[in-house]
Amino acid sequence: MFSKPFLRSPPFPGIAPSLAAVSVVRDAGDVVVPVDDAVLDAIASARVGGTFWGARPDVRGWPPQTESDPWALVAQAQSIHAPAEDELALIAGLLGVPVIDLDGAIIDPDLLRATLKARIAEARYRDCFTGEPVDAMQAVTQLADWRRHIDGNRGIVAASGMAFWKREAIRHFLWDGIASPRFLSADRGLRRARREKGALAVWPSRVPVTMPQDAADQGVALARVEDGFLRSRGLGAGLHPPGSVVVDRTGIYYNARAANDLETLLATHDFPPALVDRARRLRERVCATGVTKYGPEAGKMIDLPTGMRTVLAIGQVDDDLSVRLGGAGVDGNLDFLKRVRRAEPDAWIVYRPHPDVQAGHRKGHLPDAVVLAHADVIDSGAPLMELVQAVDELHVLSSLTGFEALMRGRSVTVHGLPFYAGWGLTRDLAKSSARRGRKLSVDQLVAAALILYPRYLDPVTRLPCGPEIMVDRMADGSTPPMTWLIALRALQGKFRRFMTLSAEFLHG
């Protein structure tokens, strides 16, 4: 019996190894489950097993000073000199690299595969999020997700613009298998990244607007970090730490003026059937549970007229980067609302303010009289997805609500250039980018936006997880508790909103 499983979990910081473990060595009396070739093929494809989370060594610099990724090492080698039981030999057998034993003879690749099958069968496997038993293939799938997460963080040596109340989560999101990047000011972060020839992670709205040019001038690569699309049950403006982020190495999803990782995925990924099927099941789960970025709403549904075309117009934050960089020239909420009325002259229009604006945290408030000059009613309390599914058409500028509506099979008119426009799924009123134009299905869109692009952090175990776990946690209410900071932020928003409404009253 081997001393430790071949398929094992990374040493996630601050997480008990027993909690994170996807495998444990079988007891002597346990039934051994045979392993088939499909498991080995999946391991080779995902490159998991051994210390896959380790640093990527240069074979010329052997031996390494830190724990190394054996897959990266073997891939650089012309041959491996080791006994058949050695993990480097087992990995070499999967990668087609010759293995030479201690006597100088080449080891039969079939023997290496048989040895690895026995090694994998010597362990029991578990779902680290539920504790339930799983098979080896499910363990490989989990490790593959972690591999993708960790590889996405390689080379990030510093982080700037991260709000202090997000930093504990960001440390987990940006851990690269060895360490998390240091939190530094923008200037110090640039200096460190330049000195170490690494990348600087930034929260775009919290660093100087000159940061992209400053980084380019100094030869520093940026990794832009933003909230993901299944964020948590609370808003960022309310100081609820994110349950999901995106880390984009080429741009950011809401900037339609330049390429970004999500747009590249949508334009080029081949979307194998298994991934599309996973996306379909995820989409159905999201819709069945009622999970949205903004969390559950307990308000009362408004009455809609019968015999009229009904339209829902979604307001946004006027100075939000998604409006400035993806608004296609639309000048804030009032301009957007006027455009909706011009596009729908005979419709009954419901205007929905953005929740951050409604809570008093952000810019974009419109007096009721101004709104009702172009819309028929203002709603801020109806369950949003119920309302989306009740109207005939949804109009958005760049709001994520448009994406959530597409997931539910609704018709969406887009005035700006959000990431989900330009793929044949929406009625687009703005000219699309030449980088887009490929026809996609809704499930291909979901696969890129909810599976491949973001990272998720389980609020229960604090382990990186897949979107399915996040949806389940959001659906059952498993989220971090209320803190004094969140309560203070909510009170601050109420005070700002009171002052805004008082000013409206005093000025008529």
Q: Given CA atoms 473, 476, 478, 481 in this order, what sign does their dihedral have?
A: positive
Q: What is the DSSP string of 16-58?
A: -HHHH-SEEEPPTTSPPPP--HHHHHHHHHHT-SSSTTSB---
- Tell the residue number behind the tokens 């409604």, with chain if given: 358
Q: Where would I find the H helices in 419-458?
A: 442-446
CB-side neighbour CA atoms (13 Å) of 10 = 29
- Tell the residue number behind the tokens 């040493």, with chain if given: 11
Neighbours of 83 (CB within 10 A): 13
What is the pLDDT at residue 437?
Answer: 85
What is the pLDDT at residue 328?
Answer: 74
pLDDT tens for residues 443-474? 999 999 999 999 999 999 999 999 999 999 98
Residues 345 and 341: their CA atoms lie apart, in Å, by 5
What is the pLDDT at residue 297?
Answer: 59
Burial 315-326 (b: 16+ CB within 10 A, else e): bbbbebbbbebb
Domain with CATH 3.40.50 in the chain: 290-432
What is the pLDDT at residue 296?
Answer: 56
Two tokens, residue 88: 């480097």
Side by side, the strands of the sheet bearing 348-352 are 377-378, 348-352, 310-314, 393-396, 412-414, 427-428
Contact call for residues 268 and 339 (beta carbons, < 8 A):
no
Contact call for residues 325 and 256 (beta carbons, < 8 A):
yes
Residues 220 and 506: their CA atoms lie apart, in Å, by 51
Two tokens, residue 473: 């946690």
For residue 181, whether the previous peptide bond is cis, meaning omega lies within 30 degrees of 0, is no
Sequence-distant (≥ 6) Cβ neighbours of residue 503 within 8 angstroms: none
Please give the helix or strand (H or E) that residue 171 lies within, else none.
helix 167-173
Low-confidence residues of the chain, pLDDT below 70? 1-2, 58-65, 231-240, 293-298, 319, 327, 356-364, 478-508
Burial 394-412 (b: 16+ CB within 10 A, else e): bbbbbbbbbbbbbbeebeb
Output the CATH code of domain 290-432.
3.40.50
What is the pLDDT at residue 290?
Answer: 83
Q: Which phi and psi angles does 348 have, rounded to 5°?
A: -95, 110
What is the pLDDT at residue 161?
Answer: 97
What is the pLDDT at residue 364?
Answer: 61
Residues 136 and 6: their CA atoms lie apart, in Å, by 11
What is the pLDDT at residue 469?
Answer: 95
Three-state DSSP state, 14: coil
The CA radius of gyration of the chain, in Å to the nearest whole number, is 26
Torsion from C-alpha of 321, 324, 327, 330, nearest 10 degrees: 140
Amino acid letter, 307: G
What is the pLDDT at residue 322?
Answer: 73
Residues 282 and 286: their CA atoms lie apart, in Å, by 6
What is the pLDDT at residue 72?
Answer: 95
Two tokens, residue 390: 């009740």
Residues 382 and 388: their CA atoms lie apart, in Å, by 10
Q: What is the DSSP string of 48-107?
A: -SSSTTSB---GGGPSPSS-B-HHHHHHT-S-EES-TTSHHHHHHHHHT--EE-TTSPBP
